[in-house]
Structures are given as structure tokens and as C-alpha cells.
């Protein structure tokens, strides 16, 4: 399985950093090579241009931006979804990782 690049977007890029760490740990335990990172909504365009992103996950606080991101990445075929609020609230890295991996075609 090739490396999977998962981008998390939140309002400031800070609140998802703990979730990124937990997702990376879960990926390591499963033996999955990943590049998981969090950015603020304002930085998302730059990262989408620079990286080959497989999945884009939005933090619950920026769920209102889903349509906007769907349009931005439609031509790239990148799936976009909002992180489940319960998983986000409990920082369930394994569950969020499984969700992300399940979105990759």
C-alpha cells in the first residue's frame, strides 16, 4: 500500500494537531505509511497545490466550508468529509484514520 496523505482542516490549525498525533500513532500501529497533517482553512489552498492529498477532512468547527472545499478539489478527485463530532471531541485518532482510509478509492 502506498503512502496515504491525509489533510485535516480546522479554523486555526491548532485544535486538530493532537488528533493528527493520535492518527499517526494509529497508522504506525497498523503498519500504514501516512503523511497526516493539519492546516488552517486559510492555508489549505497552498497545501492542496503543493501536496498530493488523498483525503481532506474538515474539523466540525469548519463544517460550513464543505461545499467550498468540494468545489475546490472536484477536478482532483479528492474526497472531502467532516470529521464526526464525537470522534473529534474524544480525539479518537484510530476511528478518524479508519474513516479517512475508507474514503480513498
pLDDT in tens, 18-57: 999 999 999 999 999 999 999 999 999 999 999 999 999 9
pLDDT at 74: 93
Instruction: With H, G, I as helix, E, B as strand and everything else as coil, classify residue 34.
Output: strand
Positions marked active-site = 10
Q: Which CATH number goes with the domain that contains 67? A: 3.40.50.2300
Domain that holds residue 25: 4-103
Q: What is the number of structural domains in the chain?
A: 1
Q: What is the DSSP string of 42-104?
A: GGHHHHHHHS--SEEEE-GGGGGGHHHHHHHHGGGT--EEEPPHHHHHTT-HHHHHHHHHHH-
Residue 47 CB coordination number (10 Å): 17
What strand order describes the sheet that includes 4-10? Answer: 34-40, 4-10, 55-58, 80-82
Amino acid at each position: 500500500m502506498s503512502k496515504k496523505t491525509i489533510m485535516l482542516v480546522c479554523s486555526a490549525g491548532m485544535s486538530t494537531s493532537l488528533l493528527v498525533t493520535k492518527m499517526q500513532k494509529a497508522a504506525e500501529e497498523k503498519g500504514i505509511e501516512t503523511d497526516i497533517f493539519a492546516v488552517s482553512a486559510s492555508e489549505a489552498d497552498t497545501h492542496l497545490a503543493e501536496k498530493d492529498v488523498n483525503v481532506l477532512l474538515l474539523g466540525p468547527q469548519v463544517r460550513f466550508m464543505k461545499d467550498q472545499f468540494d468545489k475546490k478539489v472536484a477536478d482532483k478527485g479528492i474526497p472531502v468529509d467532516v470529521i464526526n463530532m464525537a470522534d473529534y471531541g474524544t480525539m479518537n485518532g484510530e476511528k478518524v484514520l479508519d474513516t479517512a482510509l475508507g474514503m480513498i478509492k
